[in-house]
């Protein structure tokens, strides 16, 4: 079945900087914003952009991700021609390998892409929170007659040296690519979102694979090779909310951003819906003594305590007299009466016993000791336990270092 | 596939739902913050392992069709069996001289050809306006074991229902009398849930048709209670039949009781419903929300107490909502004040307006109204 454009979503990364949150699942499957998983954003963007065929490249701990994606129905990606396909590494008659890098992952699935014989392929990554119309980027790619179009956004000059920076000419064609430059010449950062003309990309993937010195990575190898060969590379400027949630701090930040539409991340805006596979549970219940302010909450939750500046996923229970502030609670968390949770991320099904105190505020903690407190999924804290700011506990309640 | 087939009846009955019932059948009335009444019957069936369900539709059924879709939300979109929507089959026949069924037997006679396609040996008949979480597989098993001809499921609470059916029982639970249109209800309130064998159902439909009998209650239960063994099953949990605005309101407010919610929304028999693609619910810095059920996508900047909010309800700052049920996408603008109101979908209450009903007479705001 011929398609003009399909998407390939790189979702195989471990997300090691999310530490205990990704010990059992791949980063794109991590819960976000109360009712979403990170992967809901690129998948919903595809559907809203009119892309009905998506290959999801998985590798690290794929069980949770696979079962979440399922048939693709929540994102309308269960059509009879196309839809969402989970693509793990595989064995062939001459053996097989893990995906060695982002480019190699696509290389190993050339057969899948060729099934749809597309003119263009969009390469996405599964760790970004943003709403973006890929069809506009594709239009830019076509109008520019480019071999590759790279989505970029302006970042503060002071931070430019943390990103892959694109230097562009007057017509926004990329002239140079610098990975984390010391002296950036531009403040246009690559967002890790590419549109390629498939025929050209296919050629470069084959050449990249043949090069044993290559790390088989788009940013490190394929893009520089195409630039060096003089391919026409266009930049596509994006100016909305975009955040890489690859670290605990950025994941927490993005959750807090969701509470304030002024941040640019307005999930109540239904003109560009973000779809999710939702659990079946009755609406949330807020009790007589609950006090909830500037917070989000979800189905199946029962809130009897105080919740401030926090994001609560489905099936969260907050007991009477408990207080949760500036925290992100993933699905199924229970905070028993009288417990306090501050500046923390609590993994799925954590149980915080009566009178526990998890985390601390920056004001009450010495600056060098302060940090987010993180509990691994299924971590159970006995009564009255104190978990200081900046610590991380594994599922057995033992402290682990970052 | 187990041996039980589901039949749900969703047709216009005499009810007192006022504006809520004008645009929809009682079966598709929103209830409990994110459900439609029929979700309960469908989920009861699916949770008992029922794979094939027929829904008899009649009257204003557009909103039911819209809600049911292919049945996939209840896992009833299947290659074999699954959900079958049964609108009027025999268009030319003027049932009872009008184009409306006079009773359940007439509705069944209309879909008589469907009854022949039922693969299961037993049928459970339910009404689409019943809000309950029944252990149907237990009821089915005990029906088969008891050797009864028909098992009638009765509630066990003091609630009355409009046009209810009441059963008198002997000490063994056998039905001794069937009464309706009672001025002062007595006996057990029937939930209009019946289990019987498919063969008996077809026999009864054919026999009634040949005598121009159309009423299940009068012509089957009352008239044949002698020769047939009618057995009762008493359900002690929550069971609401939504037939009047007052019942709708009182039953909704019961959901604020944790014990009732635990009974109706049991984790081992989940009530399945169509998803709404809404974000999380949100309460603003100055918002306050107490003793209320709040669905996805609500945004509360004002005060909400003792209320049930469906998805996407917005309560702006300074607004006060007390003892209300607000359907999907209701907007309460700044400083408006509502008490004892049932607002249908997409109602907008403009700034500074005040509307007060009373617990004994909740005011209904019709769909799309701007106040």
What is the rounded distance in angstroms from the CA atom of residue B326 to the CA atom of residue B257? 18
3-state class of B262 per DSSP? helix
Q: Closest chain B residue to A75 measured between Cα atoms?
A: B277
B295 and A283: CB-CB below 8 Å? yes
Distance CA A204, CA A214 (A): 12
The nearest CA of chain B is from the CA of A283 a distance in Å of 5
* CA–CA separation, A181 and A174 (whole Å): 16
pLDDT tens profile B140-195: 999 999 999 999 999 998 888 888 899 999 999 999 999 998 888 889 999 999 99
Mutation test of the interface with chain A: which of B271, B279, B315, choosing the one with the most A Cβ atoms within 10 A?
Answer: B279
Question: Using CB atoms, which residue from A275, A289, A294 is nearest to B277?
Answer: A275
Helix (H, G, I), strand (E, B) or coil at B24: coil
Q: Which of A131, A150, A168, A139 is CA-nearest to residue A46?
A: A131
Write out pLDDT tens, residues A86-136. 999 998 888 888 999 999 999 999 999 999 999 999 999 998 999 999 999
Which residue on chain B is closest to A33 by alpha carbon? B280
Q: What is the mean pLDDT of each run of 10 residues along chain A (402 residues)?
A: 95 88 92 95 97 95 93 92 93 88 95 96 95 97 97 92 91 91 92 96 96 93 95 96 93 95 86 92 96 96 97 97 98 97 97 96 87 96 94 94 83
Q: Which of A36, A94, A30 is nearest to A60 (CA)?
A: A30
Reading the block at residue A30, the tokens are 């991590």
Task: Please report the pLDDT score of residue A86 as a whole number.
Answer: 95
Is residue A281 within 8 angstroms of chain B, CB to CB?
yes
Per DSSP, what are the bridge partners of residue B127? B9
User: Which domains, and CATH codes, for chain B?
Assistant: 4-264 (3.90.550.10), 282-365 (2.160.10.10)
Q: Which residues of chain A lie closer than 8 angstroms to B294, CB-CB?
A: 283-286, 297
Least confident stretch, A85-99, B93-107, B109-123: B93-107
Looking at residue B160, its pLDDT comes to 81
CB B296 to CB A283 under 8 A?
yes
pLDDT, residue B99, reads 58
Mean pLDDT value across residues B329-351: 97
User: CB neighbours (10 Å) of residue A14?
Assistant: 14
Q: Does B262 touch chain A (CB under 8 A)?
A: no
The two structure tokens encoding residue B299: 């945004």
pLDDT (mean) for B260-269 = 94
Which of A34, A262, A286 to probe by mutation at the B interface, max B CB count within 10 Å? A286
Q: Looking at residue B95, what is its pLDDT?
A: 55
pLDDT value of position B2: 81
What pLDDT score does B341 carry?
97
Task: Specify the higher pLDDT residue, B110 or B58.
Answer: B110
Handedness of CA A114, A116, A120, A126 (dihedral sign): negative
CB distance B362 to B307 below 8 Å: no
CA distance linking residue B335 with residue B341, whole number of Å: 16
Q: How far apart are CA A206 and CA B24, in angstroms?
A: 61
B275 touches A: beta carbon within 8 Å? yes
Closest approach of B132 to chain A, Cα-based (Å): 14
> Which residues are B343's β-sheet partners?
B326, B365
Give residue B97's pLDDT. 53
Quick check: A295 and B292 CB within 8 A? no
Is the pLDDT reported for residue B98 higher than 80? no
Residue B174 near residue B149 (C-beta atoms within 8 A):
no
């Amino acid at each position: 079945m011929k398609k003009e454009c399909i998407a390939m979503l790189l979702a195989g990364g471990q997300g090691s900087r999310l530490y205990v949150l990704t010990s059992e699942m791949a980063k794109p499957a991590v819960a976000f914003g109360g009712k979403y998983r990170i992967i809901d954003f690129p998948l919903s963007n595809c559907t809203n952009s009119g892309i009905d065929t998506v290959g999801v490249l998985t590798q690290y701990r794929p069980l949770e991700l696979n079962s979440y994606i399922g048939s693709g129905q929540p994102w309308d990606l269960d059509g009879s021609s196309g839809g969402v396909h989970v693509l793990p590494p595989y064995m062939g008659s001459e053996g097989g390998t893990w995906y060695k890098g982002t480019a190699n992952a696509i290389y190993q699935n050339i057969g899948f892409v060729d099934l749809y014989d597309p003119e263009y392929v969009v390469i996405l990554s599964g760790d970004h929170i943003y709403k973006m119309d890929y069809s506009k980027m594709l239009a830019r790619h076509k109008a520019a007659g480019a071999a590759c179009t790279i989505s970029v956004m302006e970042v503060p000059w002071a931070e430019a040296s943390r990103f892959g920076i694109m230097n562009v000419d007057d017509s926004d064609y990329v002239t140079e690519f610098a990975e984390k430059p010391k002296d950036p010449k531009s403040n246009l950062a690559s967002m890790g979102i590419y549109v390629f003309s498939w025929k050209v990309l296919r050629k470069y993937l084959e050449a990249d694979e043949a090069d044993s010195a290559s790390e088989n990575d788009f940013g490190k190898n394929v893009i520089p090779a195409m630039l060096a060969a003089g391919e026409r590379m266009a930049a596509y400027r994006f100016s909305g909310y975009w955040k890489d949630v690859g670290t605990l701090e950025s994941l927490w930040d993005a959750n807090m951003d969701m509470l304030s539409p002024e941040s640019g991340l307005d999930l109540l805006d239904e003109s560009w819906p973000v779809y999710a596979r939702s659990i079946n549970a009755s609406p949330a219940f807020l009790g007589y003594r609950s006090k909830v302010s500037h917070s989000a909450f979800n189905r199946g939750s029962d809130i009897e305590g105080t919740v401030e500046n926090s994001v609560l996923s489905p099936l969260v229970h907050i007991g009477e007299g408990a207080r949760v502030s500036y925290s992100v609670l993933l699905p199924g968390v229970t905070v028993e009466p009288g417990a306090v949770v501050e500046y923390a991320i609590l993994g799925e099904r954590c149980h915080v016993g009566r009178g526990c105190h998890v985390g601390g505020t920056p004001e009450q903690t010495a600056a060098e000791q302060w940090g987010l407190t993180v509990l691994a999924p299924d971590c159970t804290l006995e009564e009255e336990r104190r978990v200081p700011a900046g610590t991380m506990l594994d599922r057995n309640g033992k402290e682990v270092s970052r | 596939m187990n041996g039980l087939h589901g039949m749900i009846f969703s047709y216009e009955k005499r009810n007192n739902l006022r504006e809520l019932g004008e645009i929809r059948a009682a079966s598709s009335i929103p209830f409990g913050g994110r459900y439609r009444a029929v979700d309960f019957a469908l989920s009861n069936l699916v949770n008992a392992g029922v794979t094939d369900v027929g829904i008899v539709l009649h009257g204003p059924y557009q909103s039911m069709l819209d809600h049911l879709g292919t049945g996939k939300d209840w896992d009833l979109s299947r290659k074999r069996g699954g959900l079958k929507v049964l609108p009027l089959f025999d268009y030319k026949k003027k049932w009872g001289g009008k184009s409306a069924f006079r009773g359940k037997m007439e509705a069944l006679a209309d879909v008589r050809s469907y009854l022949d396609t039922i693969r299961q040996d037993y049928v459970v008949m339910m009404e689409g306006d019943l809000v309950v979480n029944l252990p149907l597989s237990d009821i089915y098993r005990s029906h088969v074991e008891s050797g009864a001809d028909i098992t009638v499921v009765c509630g066990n609470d003091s609630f009355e229902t409009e046009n209810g059916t009441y059963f008198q029982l002997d000490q063994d639970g056998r039905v001794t009398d069937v009464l309706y249109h009672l001025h002062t209800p007595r006996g057990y309130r029937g939930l209009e849930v019946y289990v019987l064998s498919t063969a008996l159902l077809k026999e009864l439909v054919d026999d009634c048709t040949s005598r121009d009998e159309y009423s299940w209650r009068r012509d089957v239960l009352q008239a044949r209670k002698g020769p047939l063994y009618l057995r009762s099953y008493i359900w002690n949990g929550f069971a609401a039949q939504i037939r009047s605005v007052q019942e709708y309101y009182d039953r909704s407010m019961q959901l604020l009781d944790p014990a009732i919610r635990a009974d109706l929304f049991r984790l081992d028999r989940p009530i399945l419903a169509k998803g709404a693609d809404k974000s999380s619910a949100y309460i603003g810095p100055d918002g306050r929300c107490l003793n209320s059920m709040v669905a996805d996508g609500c945004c509360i900047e004002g005060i909400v107490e003792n209320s049930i909010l469906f998805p996407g309800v917005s309560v702006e700052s300074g607004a006060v909502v007390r003892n209300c049920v607000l359907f999907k996408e209701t907007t309460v603008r700044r400083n408006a004040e509502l008490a004892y109101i049932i607002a249908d979908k997409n109602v907008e209450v403009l700034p500074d307006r005040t509307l007060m009903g009373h617990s004994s007479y909740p005011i209904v705001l019709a769909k799309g109204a701007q106040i």
